[in-house]
Copies of this chain bind each other. A is one copy, B any other.
């Protein structure tokens, strides 16, 4: 950590900072500059918040040199994290293609979609049963009934199932049904939820918040990892910017940046990151070309009747086209789509 003193700070103020640095278990090194004196605080600083020094008299600002996370960092874990996901592995050569409807709306809708995406090449099924909706007047999901349909779809297709958890109160019921817990963008900093999930051993798909920095995403992953749950996938799903022709702005840079900072697998959600089905396939290809380890895509057999997010859902035949294009890009990247689950009916 570098602590920058104000231009006209006093020797006494400097001495107090030095005492505080030592009290934090760090070793101070002073550099006297023309305008500013800078104290380098050397040691294992990721546990020491910058606030420890920011408000001391005479301090102008504190800049962190090391990352504020450790378990999520590639520095302490240079190899890619790879973990099995019911029939394939995430984080290595295989590209995960998770697909399904935004919301589970009915048994027939889900089963029809599940079979269609499996045939098209998906290797996991997603479906929302508790839905975070901006409006209290919108469809809020089928709840546990939806989980039962997901399990039935898993039995029929062999694909592991992914569903979003919105509250730690839903953890018990989710644990009884799903294979992967999804934490949505709006809950990326629901720290109670993250801590609760950290105590489980279920794989987690952690979505980046609408305006979360990459560092904040990694800090949220750190919450889960610190609980002992090491199976975290990170998901870029678009950030909020001034641009309005798309629902969000796909931060494609986040893919190579995350791959350089962390060992965790990185997934892209081109449905939310664009908001329009017309652009999903192009961005899915781009994601894999940029180095993503997987995709999560909304598919609906009849998007016009979708109770949520129909505008960004692919029809099964469009999804099949997407998969075949992504497969070719994956091959250029020396990767392949994860195989369809062998135990499937």
Q: Which A residues have a C-beta under 8 Å from some C-beta of B? A: 2, 4, 7, 29, 31-36, 38, 40, 42-47, 49, 51, 54-57, 63, 65-66, 68-69, 75, 132-138, 140, 166-169, 186-187, 189-193, 195, 209-211, 213-216, 219, 222-223, 226, 239-246, 249-257, 260-261, 273-274, 278-279, 282-283, 285-291, 303-304, 306-311, 313, 325, 328-329, 332
Contact = CB atoms under 8 A, between A and B. Distances in A.
A250 B69 CA distance: 25
Contacts of A47: 137
Given A2-B38, A213-B245, A286-B287, A278 B260 contact: yes
Contacts of A193: 167
A28 to B, nearest CB: 10
A343 to B, nearest CB: 32
B278 A55 contact: no
A134 B304 contact: no
Q: What number of copies of this chain does the assembly contain?
A: 4
Nearest to A47: B137
Nearest to A281: B256
A216 to B, nearest CB: 6
Contacts of A44: 34
Given A132-B189, A253-B279, A289-B288, A51 B309 contact: yes
A170 to B, nearest CB: 8
A10 to B, nearest CB: 15
Given A136-B195, A282-B289, 18 more contacts: A31-B40, A34-B42, A34-B43, A38-B40, A40-B40, A54-B310, A55-B306, A140-B191, A213-B245, A214-B245, A239-B242, A239-B243, A241-B251, A243-B254, A244-B244, A253-B283, A256-B279, A286-B290
